[in-house]
Amino acid sequence: MLAAPINPSDINRIEGVYPVRPPMPAVGGYEGVGEVHAIGSAVKGLSAGDWVIPSPPSSGTWQTYVVKEQTVWHKIDKRTPMEYAATVTVNPLSALRMLEDFVALKSGDTIVQNGATSIVGQCVIQLARLHGIHSINIIRDRAGSDEAKANLQQLGADEVFTESQLEVKNVRGLLGNIPEPVLGFNCVGGNAASLILKFLKQGGTMVTYGGMSKKPITVSTSAFIFKELTLKGFWLQRWMSSDKAEECRSMIDYLLGLCRDGKLKYEFEVAPFDDFHTALEKAMGKKGRQPKQVLKF
């Protein structure tokens, strides 16, 4: 392996709180990029030196050498920056699927999301922008929130609010000319999810894909009866288990092309594998707010 990220779901798997677990004993890591070291005599289409990613992703990317069936590996363009190749599957692909699978969005529509500084959130902003879709973004109140706002605006965010800025009666009054959002993405839960429901247009849909605050979602009765909101969930692993392996690979090639062209970027920090303890502590939030940790082997 060349590089692999530490994602929240990797931590959840190790904690034993993720709904699926690899057979034990197991090595951590679910996505990443590797270089072919050696191939079996029957393998065609791959040679030593090629770059590959496990697609659909599979367990055990936090190690230097991995032996798996040829069908696991997807050969990618070696001109791709290594850190993007390592991280493209879980978060950028989730952003792409969520933008396409729930509401038929058209240019000029608006989406709203919390957890906008997450990798998924950063990808949602840029992929939406590519299709002329506005984004309203909610981030948590924390040190550095002004800088975070400026970074998201540079990626193409139309509006960025901290949760405390939205403690007003009429949040929709803050939107100016942007149309009310038809679709919302909830990464956080708790109050941040309630804010999405407040922004959504009549008949809108909120898709929950993460629970970073570990707080439940509270929905008012009127949100269902009078506003007719729909609440759904998204889980990439379920989507990929439904016969989507080939489709998944063409989407990954599309996303990696955007990364190579500089149209899709996100924040990460490369960490040497020798110091994985520090990277794990950072990924678990024990050292204050940190960018996505990408282990380099």
Ligand X SMILES: NC(=O)c1ccc[n+]([C@@H]2O[C@H](COP(=O)([O-])OP(=O)(O)OC[C@H]3O[C@@H](n4cnc5c(N)ncnc54)[C@H](OP(=O)(O)O)[C@@H]3O)[C@@H](O)[C@H]2O)c1
Site residues (vs ligand X, CB under 6 A): 7-9, 90-91, 94, 115, 117-121, 139-140, 142, 187-188, 209-210, 212-213, 234-236, 285, 289, 292
Q: State in angstroms the smallest separation of the CB of 37 from ligand X.
A: 28
Q: Which residue is nearest to ligand X (CB)?
A: 210
Minimum distance from residue 39 beta carbon to ligand X (Å): 31
- Please identify, using beta-carbon distances, which residue of 9 and 110 lies nearer to ligand X: 9
> Whole-number minimum distance, CB 163 to ligand X, in Å?
9
Q: What is the spatial distance between Cα 234 and Cα 161, in angstroms, rounded to a whole number?
A: 24
Q: Say which of 18, 65, 209, 266 is annotated catalytic.
A: 18
Rank residues 143 and 225 by Cβ distance to ligand X and give the closer one: 143
Q: Of 200 and 207, which has the nearer Cβ to ligand X? A: 207
User: What minimum distance in Å lies between the beta carbon of 80 and ligand X?
Assistant: 19
Contacts (Cβ under 8 Å, ≥6 apart) of 20: 237
Is residue 266 part of the annotated active site? The answer reads no
Shortest reach from residue 285's CB to ligand X, in Å: 6
Strand order of the β-sheet with 3-5 is 3-5, 292-296, 268-272
Is 119 or 264 the residue whose CB approaches ligand X more closely?
Answer: 119
Q: Which is nearer to ligand X, 82 or 212 (CB)?
A: 212
Instruction: Decide whether 10 or 109 has the Cβ nearer to ligand X.
Output: 10
As measured in angstroms, the least distance from the Cβ of 28 to ligand X is: 15
DSSP the chain: --EEE--HHHHHHHHT-SS--PSSS----S--BEE-----TT--S--TT-EEEESS--S--SSS-----GGGEEEE-TTS-HHHHHHTTTHHHHHHHHHHHSS---TT-EEEEESTTSHHHHHHHHHHHHTT-EEEEEE---TTHHHHHHHHHHHT-SEEEEGGGG-SS-GGGG-TTSPPPSEEEESSBHHHHHHHHHHSPTT-EEEE---TT-B-----HHHHHTS--EEEE--HHHHHHTT-HHHHHHHHHHHHHHHHTTSS---EEEEEGGGHHHHHHHHTTBTBS-PEEEEE-
Judge if the upstream peptide bond of residue 25 is cis by omega within 30 degrees of 0: yes
Looking at the annotation, which residues are catalytic?
18
